[in-house]
Amino acid sequence: MTTVAAPVEDAREEDVPRPITANPGLPDRIFLAWAKGSGAFVLVVMLGVGGYLAVRASEALSTAGLSFLTTESWNPDGGKGQFGIAAVLVGTLLVGGIAVLLAVPLALGSALYISEYAPRKLRRTLIGMVDLMAAVPSVVYGVWGYKLLQYQLAGVARWLSTWLDWIPLFKVNGVDPNDPLTPPLVYTASSLMAGTVVAFMITPIMCSIMREVFDQAPAGEREGAYALGSTRWGMIRSVVLPFGRGGIIGGTMLGLGRALGETITVYLILSMAFEIQPHVLQTGGSAVAPMIALRYGDSTPFSISALMAAGLALFLLTLVVNFAAAAVVARSRSGASS
């Protein structure tokens, strides 16, 4: 009796996965077109703003050349070498740095309390309050800081100047901090006061971003940490904070971006001085955005071109900060999962 072997199929054909095709309906196609159009529109607006600033600033930049980045004074009608952004750029970074240094601990602590410690009923109230504070106009913060906060903080500034004047950053030129007759007004209208008010402005935004990321920490890893005998703080330190590192960095950089571009608050508090002022307790300072608001109304056409050049520098600086934050967040675990 003859046995006939069954035909053997080619194994290579079995290893090839079957292609999966999707036939999206009309609502999906409409949503996809809307999403792509929105993204393209945002990109076009950003390029339009940058292009407009570049065109309007071309006259001043061609006249000033590289001295635009190294000159401290601001007198565009005085000719080449009489105007630049060295002083206002340093002042912008100083105010933004102070604001971030003060805001990060407040935002991080508030986000952790709302996310991990607050009772459920209180948590909803706190989230609403934080979101409401983020929506308060900046002029309200500016008036509050100008009329009240900077005078209340004058004693703190005097204490810093008394005990830390050996650090150049906290030294106040021409003032003896040990003299009881020194008026409190000496310590107002400084970079520290402006940065403190801006810190209160950006804290709610940073807190909201951090809290949302902390809430996304995997529940399984939280329960696993508790099962291994971890305390609540141990779970936060080993699970929540590593997972939310991208949110912490992203929220911080977003707050820094807003602090660098803040106008009315810094304009009301800071006494403008077009020189590099590294002393944060010293009255007087400068920043790009309030300088534009101060000089735009009475500027000649060439001066407006110079202001546009300063705005272009601030625009590029903000873009660099935001792109750096996006790159860091995308490489983090929380950013990759979202």
DSSP, residue by residue, 86-113 = HHHHHHHHHHHHHHHHHHHHHHHHHHHI
Q: pLDDT tens for residues 229-285?
A: 989 999 999 999 998 888 898 889 889 988 998 999 999 998 888 888 888 998 888
Tokens found for residue 141: 């913060």
Query: Residue 170: which of 152, 190, 185 has the closest Cα?
Result: 190
What's the rounded Cα separation, in Å, for the pair 44 and 281? 42
Least confidently predicted of 1-15, 38-52, 131-145, 215-229: 1-15
Average confidence (pLDDT) over 298-306: 90
pLDDT at residue 183 in the model:
82
DSSP characters over 144-155: HIIIIIHHHSHH
Residue 306 CB coordination number (10 Å): 29
Q: Across the chain, how many H-helices and E-strands are there?
A: 16, 0
Work out the mean pLDDT of the chain and round it to a whole number.
87
What's the rounded Cα separation, in Å, for the pair 190 and 287? 12
Distance of CA 13 to the CA centre of its chain: 55
What's the rounded Cα separation, in Å, for the pair 108 and 236? 12
Q: pLDDT tens for residues 191-235?
A: 999 999 999 999 999 999 999 999 988 889 999 999 989 899 999
What's the rounded Cα separation, in Å, for the pair 295 and 297? 6
What's the rounded Cα separation, in Å, for the pair 207 and 80? 45
Classified as helix, coil or strand, 129 is helix
pLDDT at residue 328 in the model:
76
pLDDT at 14 over 60: no
Average confidence (pLDDT) over 319-324: 85
pLDDT at residue 240 in the model:
92
Report pTM: 0.86
Confidence of residue 13 (pLDDT cuts 50, 70, 90): low
